[in-house]
A and B are shown apart, each in its own frame.
Chain A
Amino acid sequence: MTQTVVHTGQHYDDALFASLLADLALPEPDINLGVGSASHAVQTARILERLEPVVTNQRPDWVVIYGDVNSTAAAAVVAAKLGIRSAHVEAGLRSGDRTMPEEINRIVADRLASLLLTPSRDADETLRAEGEPECEIAFVGNVMIDSLLNALPVARSLARASGHVLVTLHRPSNVDDETRLSLLMSALRDVAAERLVVFPVHPRTRDRLEQWGIESGAVQTVEPVGYLEMVALVDAAHAVITDSGGVQEETTALGVPCLTVRETTERPITITAGTNRLVHDPAKLPGLVRDATRPADLPSIEGWDGAAGQRVVDALIAGGLP
């Protein structure tokens, strides 16, 4: 089996992308579609148009798609229409909230993919309940934890802070609503009165803060950070406040208390493991941060063992010959 990596170029920040590749020891993508940022429909449309000839030319045994971005759904549609099988890594995750564009991408990708590679047993159950046939569902574990465990030794050698509170916010429901963003920042300023708060800010969110005149106070807003630096910041944190799916899992794997400022999560295992908590009301954040403690032992979760990628490849090879 050979491989070709196609980067659709949904992500527009070259510097950030280059540092991600370096941090994850990934080569440059073989093909870059350069679709850039746009509305969901336009971005999805560009990916459909530009990916179809690539898949037609390459005719792979598998189109492997990841997670829940617009490229994930678009690639699933392209492959399905061309009669080429797709495998979805991180299948079966659901927030139950269809106002999240990611949820739409997930359900389209899972509906069309021929191999559903799941990170957790609850994802298997979700897919069964949606009528997906047993033979398409393969539990492989969490590939993000593979990356995390792989990066951890280097990340720890980079650590510059500890005992801080790390904040990441990017969802439209949190950062595109003036009232909501004000409430969140007010809570973060309260937290920052007691502890160092580090908040890597997306340029778009920085613009919003300025535009709406929302004060950062003692909160240290910094430029977006690379993957290794992020792992280091999570690993050494007293607690993390986030609305990201990935960070909920990374904190769980590292035993770092996580407060998720959302009403739902597509990763319920992080809640049952005891490290993550949904906190929709920002006013509760200062108290919860104060009370946060690390668990005595790291949560032990099936498939979070650093070998998920290996099981993915096993499943692809096992199902690879039609």
Chain B
Amino acid sequence: MKLLHVVGARPNFPKLAPVSRQARAVGVDQVVVHTGQHYDDAMSAAFFRDLGLRPPDINLDVGSATHAVQTARVMERFEPVLLQHRPDWTVVYGDVNSTLAATLVAAKLGFRVAHVEAGVRSGDRSMPEEINRIVTDRLADLLLTPSRTADQTLRAEGEPDEEIMFVGNVMVDALLYSVQRARTVGFRNRLGLSMAPVTVTLHRPANVDDPKRLTAIMAALREVAAKRPVVFPVHPRTRGQLEMGRFDVGSVKLIDPVSYLEMLDLVEGSHAVITDSGGLQVESTALGVPCLTVRDTTEWPETIECGANRLVPDPAEIPGAIASTTRLDDPPRPEGWDGMAAVRALDCLRTR
């Protein structure tokens, strides 16, 4: 059996890592295609190393562009690769443009597609990720879900039962595999912080492209930073917004983007996390670190249900929410957050 994995951007890599490791462990042939949606090569390479992934077999170098143009480039460049490799399964991950593009190409050519992290929905179609998810799920032949909620969502969308397979959360696989190593990195110590910090990540257009909104968020972060260190690894895109608009960052500590292991170490040692990323909601929850999500919706309701995550769409509420958070005694373990999701995914792929 031969798998052809397609990844395109940083959020995909921790999902690919456990699946690809398990495929290797059970002796399945595999090819990794990196579409190169991610524009920062150094960051991409560091992520692959951190996750114990070999460099991608094929790089499509599509680069950054508008959604339509990026999707178009992936389609054009992926089609000949698929026809050359003719895999038993094209395995796509998450919700980036490459996920949709590769799925569309494979469906048209009659190749079977498995979607890892199927059935995840925010319910907000103004998010480009939501469009990528719903098209991918509709076309994929095997829907590998991270939660029972995702199963229900797919059933309600009319997907046949035999295509839906609950496997659990592969991001948690990657995290449990890496957390020991992350502690040895000592990244948090190197930052020389006086106490457990609040870690911030923001990258969504809704938060960082609207100057009014970004001003309000930065004001809240300055307030938090008056009481406790605030560490903000800045996405290049957000740094651009901050510098162009000359926002007052106060004592918020802006740092360069961090690697996967550095981030795990930083989050594990944090008092709380403030984010608009999907992956970090899962990772902070798995580490038992309280998370405040600066959005109206989440595609990870299980992080809210277990009490680790909270939606705080109004930035003015952030300082109060931070003051009242405490770390959870034991990291929550929703069903399928057991480090075995990739094992179950490979079982599904091999028995079909």
B79 touches A51 (CB 8 A): no
In the complex the two chains form, what is the Cα distance from A129 to B69 in whole Å?
33
B157 touches A41 (CB 8 A): no
Asked, given contacts A81-B128, A107-B139, A108-B138, whether A44 binds B68 with beta carbons under 8 Å apart, the answer is no
Nearest residue (CB) in A for B97 is A81
Q: Which of A7-15, A18-26, A97-105 forms contacts with chain B?
A: A97-105
Jot down 9 A-B pairs with beta carbons below 8 A, ordered by A: A39-B79, A45-B72, A51-B68, A82-B67, A98-B110, A107-B139, A108-B104, A108-B139, A131-B157
Q: Which residues of A contact B100 (CB under 8 A)?
A: 77
Interface residues on B, range: 20 to 34
A41 touches B134 (CB 8 A): no
A46 within 8 A of partner (CB): yes
B264 CB to nearest chain A CB (Å): 32
Residue of A44, A46, A48, A80 with most chain B CB atoms under a 10 A cut-off: A48
In the complex the two chains form, what is the Cα distance from A81 to B68 in whole Å?
8
Taking Cβ atoms with an 8 Å cutoff, the residues of B that contact A are: 66-69, 71-73, 75-76, 78-79, 100, 104-105, 107-110, 125-126, 128, 131, 134-135, 138-139, 156-158
Q: Which residues of B contact A130 (CB under 8 A)?
A: 157-158
Q: Which residues of A contact B107 (CB under 8 A)?
A: 98, 104
B69 touches A104 (CB 8 A): no
Q: Which residues of A contact B108 (CB under 8 A)?
A: 40-41, 44, 101, 104
Q: Which residues of A contact B139 (CB under 8 A)?
A: 104, 107-108
Asked, given contacts A77-B68, A77-B100, A104-B104, whether A42 binds B79 with beta carbons under 8 Å apart, the answer is yes
Asked, given contacts A52-B66, A81-B67, A108-B138, whether A99 binds B72 with beta carbons under 8 Å apart, the answer is no
Q: Which 8 A-B pairs have the closest CB atoms?
A: A52-B68, A45-B72, A41-B79, A131-B157, A130-B158, A48-B72, A48-B68, A81-B67
Q: Which residues of A contact B68 (CB under 8 A)?
A: 48-49, 51-52, 77-78, 81
B143 CB to nearest chain A CB (Å): 14
A107 touches B138 (CB 8 A): yes
A80 touches B125 (CB 8 A): yes
Q: Which residues of A contact B110 (CB under 8 A)?
A: 98-99
